[in-house]
Structure 1
Amino acid sequence: MRPFPLMLFAAGKGTRMGALTANCPKPLIKVASKPLIDHALNLAAAARARPIVVNTHYLGDQIVAHLSHLPIAVSAEDDLLLETGGGLRKALPLLQSSPVMTLNSDAVWTGQNPLLQLSQHWDDSRMDALLLLAAPGNARGHTGQGDFLMDDQGRLVRAKGAPGLVYLGAQILRTDRLAEISEQIFSLNLLWDRLIASGRVFGLVHQGGWCDVGRPEGIAEAEALLAGARA
């Protein structure tokens, strides 16, 4: 199994967390006595991801200090928060090659390692993106009907209001076409739509549990998920 570079998104302001992020960046909020970003880094280590790049913005100096003992590169967005697409494009010189894995730092997982699942199912010949997904009922902390519809070959299209599968914040993605996008600040949704039009975006359903930790109540829900997996 080949190793992939990993972009770990950790630059968000965490405003939905309210007072919890007044003096602490969301990636350092603890779930089951461990900072969220450490949960993500454990997944990365098990998947042998390298190099690993973390982007920072809000209270980024705390994240840098937390990571200082690890061989991890930091892509600082001190002056301007670039969103996922702009942040990934800025980090490309540190990631060194394409395709790359990306992982959000504000969720916890149970079951099979999401990054290993993706790397085991990646197909260079037909994929520009492979997104990890779940049915809405299996996506704890998520609100809404879902993001994508998947055909029997695994190919994705936008759900466009129909009940669909939820994107869980983990993927493998070719980065070449990021250069086509003129905006400095943009979401990866913009790139996905271009790749979907080419029929080269695929999905994979996560074999395990997942919980978004975007709001304060998500902490207890995530800890319950992890405790249930250990029981």
Structure 2
Amino acid sequence: MRHDPDALMIFAAGFGTRMGPLTATRPKPLIEVAGRTLLDRALAMGAQAGVARTVVNTHYLREQVAAHLADRPEIAISAEAEILETGGGLKAALPLLGPSPVMTLNPDAVWTGPNPLAALRAAWDPARMDALLMLVPASAARGYRGQGDFTRAPDGRLSRGPGHVYSGAQIVKTEGLSAIAEANFSLNLLWDRMLPEGRVHGLIHPGGWCDVGRPEGVTLAETMLADVAHV
């Protein structure tokens, strides 16, 4: 196991069904927000955080993602024959990612403020943590519908409950994936095995965050970016 995570997994395989017509002919990571694709925003975030290697998984309209990355040979692609969800996708990509722990990022969000991956790396403590999740207060999560995924204790430990939204960025140890027999599963299954041990911690993002999981999220994200640009 390496101490400092330097590999990043970007989840780009899903169908993006909530986006409706926007994903009828293109994968969600190639949707543009303010003239830049969601995937390029995620890749830039990784580069700015000093990531040594990046893996992008693909399935739906995978040829478009591959073509988009054709001039980026340093980006590895994990092509999935079927949708494996986040946990299964991460497990399948482990040979490309290398030793645990790794960073993972959902590209369907737009951020302002400090780089979340850099902040996670700075706060990562493998002696106390099996996972460190970047959180956003539910009240500040643009484009999000709900009360949150986790409750955060004063020492940073997480439990299931309202209050904070999982933003889609984390550091996680991957050893536990080998104990999960299913090929297709969510990372929630891995977290639920870590939570009782008090090994899942959360960090709160101090900047802006917008979920781009539905069509209206594009406008919300562009408005958020414009507001910051005019400050």
Give every structure 1 segment of 4 or more consecutive aligned residues whose post-TM-superposition deviation is greater than 2 Å.
Answer: none
The CA deviation at 1:2 is 4.6
Distance 2:71 2:173 in 1: 30
**Cα separation, 2, equivalents of 1:158 and 1:2:** 27
Identity %: 60
Show the counterpart of 2:77.
74
In 2: Cα distance, 1:213 partner to 1:147 partner: 17
Question: 1:140-159 maps to which residues of 2 (within 5 A)?
Answer: 140-159=142-161
Aligned match of 2:42 = 40
The equivalences for 1:96-115 within 5 A come to: 96-115=98-117
Q: What corresponds to 1:169 in structure 2?
A: 168
Name the counterpart of 2:131.
129
Is residue 3–residue 47 contact of structure 1 (8 Å, CA) maintained in 2? no
Query: For 1:167, what is the secondary structure of its paired residue?
Result: strand
Give the AA of the match of 2:142: R
SS of alignment partner, residue 140 of structure 1:
coil
Contact kept? 1:3, 1:48, Cα under 8 Å = no
For the Cα contact (< 8 Å) 1:10–1:54, is it kept in 2?
Answer: yes
Cα RMSD, aligned residues only: 1.1
Residue range with higher mean Cα deviation, 194-203 or 82-91: 194-203
Partner of 1:206: 205
Q: Residue 24 of structure 1 contacts residue 59 of structure 1 at CA under 8 Å; is this kept in 2?
A: yes
* TM-score scaled by length of structure 1: 0.96
Cα deviation digits, residues 108-156 of structure 1 (max 9, x gap): 0000001011001000111100000011111111111101111111000
1:57-96 equivalence runs, <5 A: 57-70=59-72, 71-77=74-80, 79-96=81-98
TM-score between the two structures when normalised by the length of structure 2? 0.96
Residue ranges of structure 1 left out of the alignment (5+ in a row): none
| Matched residue, 2:215 | 216
* SS of residue in 1 equivalent to 2:151: strand
User: Structure 1, residues 44-89: CA drift from partner, whole Å, max 9, x if none?
Assistant: 1100112100000100110011011111000001x21000000000
Distance 1:100 1:167 in 2: 17
